[in-house]
A and B are shown apart, each in its own frame.
Chain A
Amino acid sequence: MPNVIYILLIPILPFAAFLLLGLFGRKYIKNGAGIIGTLCMLIAAALALYIAYGYFFDYGKLDGVYRKIIPLKYNWLEFSPGISIDMGIVLDPISVMMLVVVTFISLMVHIYSLGYIKGEERFPTYYAFLGLFTFSMLGLVISTNIFQMYFFWELVGVSSFLLIGYYYDKPSAVAACKKAFIVTRFADLGFLIGILVLSYYGGTLDFNELIQRLASPESNEFKTAIASSFLGLSAITWGTVLVFIGGAGKSAMFPLHIWLPDAMEGPTPVSALIHAATMVVAGVFLVARLFPVFAISAPEALNLVGYVGAVSALFAAVIACTQTDIKRVLAYSTMSQIGYMMFALGVSGYGGEEGLGYTASMFHLFTHAMFKALLFLGAGAVIHYVHSNDMKDMGGLRKFMPVTHITFLIACLAIAGVPPFAGFFSKEEILLAAYQHNTSIYWIALITSGLTAFYMFRLYFNIFWNKEHHAHGEHHGEGGFVMMMPLILLAIGAAGAGFIHFGEFVSSDGAPLASVFHLQFSIAPVALGFAGILVAWILYKKQNDKPDKIAASVKSLYIAAYHKFYIDELYLFITKKILFNLIGRPVAWIDRHIVDGLMNAIGDLTRGIAELIKGFQSGKVQQYALYFLCGAVGLLLLFIYIWH
């Protein structure tokens, strides 16, 4: 069995860093702040690896099945016997995996930021917020109790709000952090009501008991919950759908995704940590955590998860093709990939071979964390170099930033699903699961994977090839060793993580699932991926190094640009004009005239009543006595003649 102290230290170390840097950072340890934060993360990451090794290879397995271990559970607040909020730690395959992912990515971001944020005024505050975020995220993944998860869920939201708004003197950053907070708050309301519904019918807030009671058709709780229906759906379905709304808000699923692109106003390493690898997958994690309830008791809800995921994946991929801000391309790509994870859960069943989608989803979560964090950190290095987010200002950077170039290319190959990089294996599993269970989702996924390859290589060629880059005088290289090391480590992960036999470790019911690999099945997605890359190559890898072809290539470049321009305009037209006028305007009108009007009416009413009764407060003590007596006599009359 693991030593509880070691597990406990994993979240506590980042929290300690937060307290230390938050309280004393700006005055006393200004320069050492980054080192302190990074060291804390380093120890936490090492401990997480140690725990993961022990869990997966030593004590985790019982009779060939990975079990849930609860090394610590503290009864924090008891509402009534049975329903209590506990603070505890659960070790099971997904929480252990998330411990590793969160600490590792966070460590990379900590190291990277040493170079990226260096020299800024609020350097210690930045590291303090990073520590707070990491602590909250770790607390979220090890939750034993749905309320504990909600608690950390909100804390994650708060720390993300603080980090997005880090450049608080920039109005767009302030607007973005508010937007992110409000949209996710709205979704979290669904989560909270979902918790209340599930706990009311389950009679507990504990994940284990909740799953035992609501996912076994024999239990009494299950029978009452299934029997009580509202609008044709059972209470469990309603509860799980509401919980999923919370998850969809955090994971930027359509149509609650609108905050994610704006959230790119935060510092780029923060985007790598929060908006690529950790926080945005919290929704996927939540569904995975309650997976037996979804799969066994609420198939309708699981279907919804599948379709929302598939629509988000395709929708975001289409948009990503049209963006010119490189961080926004990555943001939409993240949304698309999380859509993959969601629909993989949606097409999965519970137990055995049926649970392939579950394993695939978690596998993709794992590999995606590697290559997407790498893409964001690479983009950060590029932005650091050219001081712009826009593709127009880039091009031909491969000679100036060789390390960034190679690592970025590896990440692009991984996300495009080119074998043998990590994304290939996880995406194949997802596609296979979709193919076996839901063909319409499979076709959406297939088209999306082609689009993914296209927009990622459009990004890649635009940054590193395309036009020649003319070095300006002030250029300062790629960034030091601290910025390169995380890129290299993550590139190793993005290249090699696919070879892990993920099904051995993570599966819907804990029993190992053999990885199956069908060569003929992979042909279609891989071919589509290559086709996407090829199109991007034709359109964007234009070089003007051959003087005799300059005129022709410029002309074709212009034509290509024109078409792209047209698509962008179309997209802008659809979102800004049609969506805004059809949905935004009426909603704004309702808000202004009905909601505000109602609020004003209530305000006027209360003010009117207050005006009416202010005569009571005359300041004359004899009148007070009179009212006193009237009150007593009134009570007497009421209780003697009416209530008696």
Chain B
Amino acid sequence: MNEFFSILKPELLITAIIFILLFVKITKTMKTSALLLLIQGLLLLNFVGGFFFNTEGNLFGDMYFSNHLLMMQKSILNLAVFLISLLFANCLRHHEHLPEYFILMLSALLGMFFMISSQNMLMFYLSLELATIPVAAMANFDLEKKASSEAAMKMILSSAFSSGILLFGISMLYGATGTISFNEIPFALDGSVLNILILVFIFTAFAFKLSIVPFHLWTADVYEGAPMATSAFLSVVSKGSVAFIFITMLYKVFQPMSETWYNMLIILSIATMVIGNLFAMRQQNIKRFLAFSSIAQVGFIMVAISSGSAKGISSVVYFVLIYVFSNLAAFGVASVIATQSGKERIDAYKGLYKTNPFLSWVLALALFSLAGIPPTAGFFGKLFLISAGAFKANYGYIAFVALNMIVSLYYYLVIVRAMFMDRNEQPIEKIHLHPANKIGLIICAGGIVCIGLISWIFDHIQSLVG
């Protein structure tokens, strides 16, 4: 019994927080600002708690599995959610349905935890839905805005469509192999045409969640319409968790078909990077810009996944950790600016440095890291992703990836230039930062600067992967 608690600790902690929030909501005992502080405290506790009393093991008749690497992945996701609670404090704290928002977010997080720990197709499917449906509700959270409802509607419809195809794939899998356990499937796969059908159908579900081209079309619309916190959650937490389970699915379940999915990854990653970069270049809205930039980033993650090696796993985990800091910092700055000045166009950022030097520096740092400029952490993240990808010794492909990295430099630097160099008669006025926002941004900036330089972190992740 004791083991049960320690293995399932991350999920239990999240559930406990959900119950506390439900209780607070029902009794209506707290004001929203105090409530936000409570939520932040609980999430911090949850993050810190993730480092203690971790046990490896199986539960629920081998449906659920946990080890130290998974604990690490869950801690990264916990950290991201904690940072979201800080970074979006100023737009969330006046919301009357604040507890519901976090209940939804934590439910989705709970789904993700079960998802990355799943050992069985059924478990995987259920948790995937738990990780998706609350997010659609979160997208609708700007209740009075039409765009927000539209985003939610698009998301729920698209994900329903994707789930349909996934279920179709799973049912064929069961029909072909007679099992849905991750441990047994590999022995029953033989690479036949039916197996390819299964792989492609299941692959599309991941492609949809990760916004891999051409399954990415919902992304920009949803990011643009949804509240900023939801977009940030989608781009960082949701993508990170799906990338983790994607690796398990490919490396473990579809191991016998590695040749096929390797080629799939290569083709789609090229398409994803190119389309993501091209569209990111012509965006005028910062949210749509970040949507396409995150699509391009996923292309780089796929490069590392294609290696099919332990290095691929460790570099993806490391990259997601860095991505949490970099992308959340970018979203965080965009969010405070949008909340206070109502401006979301990139043109409006011209001359920002004159009025808001702190925000400009943090955003510049985040963009440098996303672009992979040394010595920010993003450079090391990309370095390991690409060197993992180079494992397969297909240098033409790697050269193409590097070329894309250079192209992406261009559009990240356009924003930096707008902030620091372009003149503007009416720059965005001085923005007052809520202390929580400031703390969050400082943590992100610190992470961007330090994580690459502290080599211990990557070594630790490598040792967990084994």
Q: Is the CB of A628 within 8 A of B278?
A: no
Whether B158 and A621, one on each chain, are in contact in the complex, defined by CB atoms closer than 8 angstroms, is yes
In the complex, the answer to whether A627 meets B214 with C-beta atoms within 8 Å is: yes
Q: Which of B154, B197, B214, B278 contacts A631 (CB 8 A)?
A: B214
| B208 on the A face (CB < 8 A) | yes
Once the chains are docked, how many angstroms separate the CA of A78 from the CA of B462? 11
Question: Which of B204, B220, B221, B263 is the one whose CB lies under 8 Å from A632?
Answer: B204
Q: Could you tell me if B153 and A621 are in contact, using CB atoms closer than 8 angstroms?
A: yes
* Neighbouring B residues of A617 by C-beta, 8 Å: 217, 220-221, 279
Answer yes or no: A607 CB below 8 A from chain B CBs. Answer: yes
Known contacts A76-B455, A627-B217, A636-B200: A607-B264 contact under CB 8 Å: no
For window 609-644 of A, CB contacts with B under 8 Å fall at 609-610, 613-614, 616-617, 619, 621, 623-625, 627-628, 630-632, 635-636, 638-640, 643-644
B window 200-216: CB within 8 A of A: 200-201, 203-204, 207-208, 214-215
Is A28 an interface residue when CB atoms closer than 8 A count as contact? no
Task: Verify A624–B204 contact, CB threshold 8 A.
Answer: no
> Are B278 and A624 in contact (CB-based, < 8 A)?
no
**A621 lies within 8 A of B154 (CB):** yes
- Report chain B residues within 8 Å CB of A606: 278, 281, 407
Interface-central residue, B204, B217, B263, B282, by most chain A CB under 10 Å:
B217
Give the size range of A's interface with the partner.
20 to 34
Q: How far is the CB of A145 from chain B (nearest CB, A)?
A: 14
B200 touches A616 (CB 8 A): no
Give the CA-CA distance A643 to B262 in the complex, in Å: 12
- Cβ of B163 to closest chain A Cβ, rounded Å: 12
| CB neighbours of B221 from chain A (8 A) | 617, 619
- Whether B215 and A610, one on each chain, are in contact in the complex, defined by CB atoms closer than 8 angstroms, is no
Q: Which of A77, A610, A619, A639 interacts with B281 by CB under 8 Å? A: A610
Any A CB within 8 A of the CB of B162: yes
- Which B-chain residue is minimally distant from A622 (CB atoms)? B157
**A606–B281 alpha-carbon span in the complex (Å):** 9
Q: Does B196 contact A (CB under 8 A)?
A: yes
From A609, A627, A636, contact of B197 by CB (8 A): A636
Chain B residues contacting A616 (CB-CB under 8 Å) are 214, 217
> B282's contact among A77, A79, A610, A632, by CB below 8 Å, is which?
A610
Q: In the complex the two chains form, what is the Cα distance from A606 to B153 in whole Å?
A: 32
* Residues of A close to B158: CB separation below 8 A: 621, 624-625, 628
On chain B, the residues within 8 Å of A635 by CB distance are 200, 203-204, 264, 268
B63: Cβ under 8 A from any A Cβ: no
B: contact size bracket: 35 or more
Known: A631-B214, A644-B196. A639 touches B278 (CB 8 A): no
> B33 near A: Cβ within 8 Å?
no
Q: A628-B204, A631-B204, A639-B260 are in contact. Are A621 and B281 (CB under 8 A)?
A: no
Q: How far is the CA of A631 from the CA of B260 in the complex (A)?
A: 16
Complex Cα–Cα for A639 and B257 (A): 12
Bound-state CA distance A580–B281 (Å) is 38
Question: Within 8 Å CB of A639, what residues of B?
Answer: 196, 200, 260, 263-264
Is B196's CB under 8 angstroms from A613's CB? no
A583-614 contacts to B (CB < 8 Å): 606-607, 609-610, 613-614
Q: Which of A617, A628, A640, A644 has the most CB of B within 10 A?
A: A628
Report which residue of A616, A625, A639 has the largest number of chain B beta carbons within 10 angstroms of its beta carbon: A639
Question: Contacts A631-B204, A632-B201: A609 and B157 contacting too (C-beta < 8 A)?
Answer: no
The verdict on A644 contacting B193 (CB below 8 Å), with A617-B220, A639-B260 known, is yes
Smallest beta-carbon distance A9→chain B, Å? 21
Known pairs A607-B282, A635-B203; A628 contacts B215 (CB<8 A): yes
Bound Cα distance from A395 to B161, whole angstroms: 88
**Quick one: CB contact mask for B151-169 with A, threshold 8 Å, 1 for yes?**
0011001100110010000
Answer yes or no: B32 CB below 8 A from chain A CBs.
no
**Cβ of B104 < 8 Å from any Cβ of A?**
no
Give A78 to B456 CA distance when docked, in angstroms.
Answer: 11
Whether a CB of chain A sits under 8 angstroms from the CB of B387 is yes
Contacts of A640 in B (CB 8 A): 193, 196-197
B218 contacts chain A at the CB level, 8 A cutoff: yes
User: Which one of B260, B268, B455 has the greatest number of beta carbons of chain A within 10 Å?
Assistant: B455
**Cβ–Cβ < 8 Å partners of A610 in chain B:** 278-279, 281-282
Q: Whole-angstrom distance from the CB of B142 to the nearest CB of chain A?
A: 18
CA distance A36 to B200 in the complex (A): 66
> Complex: how many Å from CA A77 to CA B451?
13
**How distant is the Cα of A636 from the Cα of B204 in the complex, in angstroms?**
11
A638 to B162, CA, bound (A): 20
Q: Is A621's CB under 8 angstroms from B218's CB?
A: yes
Cβ contacts under 8 Å, A607 to chain B: 281-282
Q: Which residues from A are CB-within-8-Å of B263?
A: 639, 643
Contacts of B154 in A (CB 8 A): 621, 624
Residues A625 and B193 in contact, CB atoms below 8 Å apart: no
Q: CA–CA, A610 to B387, complex, Å?
A: 29
- Cα A79 to Cα B218 with chains together (Å): 38
B201: A residues at CB distance < 8 A: 632
> Roughly how many angstroms separate A392 CA and B132 CA in the complex, as a whole number?
79
Chain B residues near A643 (CB-CB < 8 A): 260, 263
- In the A-B complex, the 4 residue pairs with the smallest Cβ-Cβ separation, listed nearest first, are A624-B217, A631-B214, A610-B278, A621-B154
A sample of 8 inter-chain contacts (CB < 8 A) reads: A78-B459, A609-B278, A621-B157, A623-B217, A631-B215, A636-B196, A639-B263, A639-B264
Q: A628-B161, A628-B165 are known contacts; what are 17 more A-B pairs with Cβ within 8 Å?
A: A78-B459, A616-B217, A617-B221, A621-B158, A624-B154, A625-B161, A627-B215, A628-B208, A630-B214, A632-B200, A632-B201, A635-B203, A636-B200, A639-B264, A640-B193, A640-B197, A644-B193
